[in-house]
Amino acid sequence: MKKIIAATVISLGLVGCMTPMTSTQQAMPEISQVIEVPNKTKDQIFEDSKIWIAQSFKSANNVIQYSDKSTGSIIGKGNIPYPCDGFIDCGAFGNDKVNFTIKIDTKENKARVTINDVTRTNLTYVQGAINNIGKDVPITIVQHQQKIAVKLNNVIEQYKTAITSKQTNENW
């Protein structure tokens, strides 16, 4: 009997520690950043950006959806693993992917990176008589949006690092 009471108290204590999730009807906000790229022309930044996208977002699908050298615009589709933390979060969302559209606009000595159209693709599985076909769903929980925004800002920082330190090695 003591074990049952102890288990009940511990269970209630753990449930009480969980923070409630805040739901929203708002789509995830757009993330945008202007990056200074000293001593590079628009064309150099454009070509380096195309290479970075191709190397960063490996996919069986065509990652770059649109590119126009005259306007300096590149639009691509990318995804990252869902940024889960903790046993319950990773158990529920650990195999999900976060999909997004990335747009890079280039000018002389600068680039603007914009990430929008952020969705989550749930894991496809069959369990008993339930067939869950993975589909794109909007991210409607504020805490999830905040975690994903941090990871997407990391993607922009990776671009910034790559594009500002890109050295061509012609001696191969």
**pLDDT tens-place string over residues 56-74:** 987 756 789 999 999 999 9
Residue range 24-164, CATH number: 3.30.530.80
What's the rounded Cα separation, in Å, for the pair 101 and 63?
Answer: 10
The pTM is what?
A: 0.80
β-strands 130-132, 136-138: how paired?
A: unpaired
What would the pLDDT profile of 13-25 be if each residue is shown by its tens digit? 555 555 677 877 8
Q: Which residues contact 24 (CB under 8 A, 6 or more apart)?
A: 140, 141, 142, 145
Q: Which residues contact 53 (CB under 8 A, 6 or more apart)?
A: 63, 64, 74, 76, 78, 102, 104
What would the pLDDT profile of 62-116 be if each residue is shown by its tens digit? 789 999 999 999 999 999 999 988 888 787 788 889 999 999 999 999 999 999 9
Residue 52: pLDDT band by 50, 70, 90 thresholds? very high
Domain boundaries, the chain: 24-164
- CA–CA distance from 13 to each of 17, 18, 168, 170 (Å)? 6, 9, 58, 63
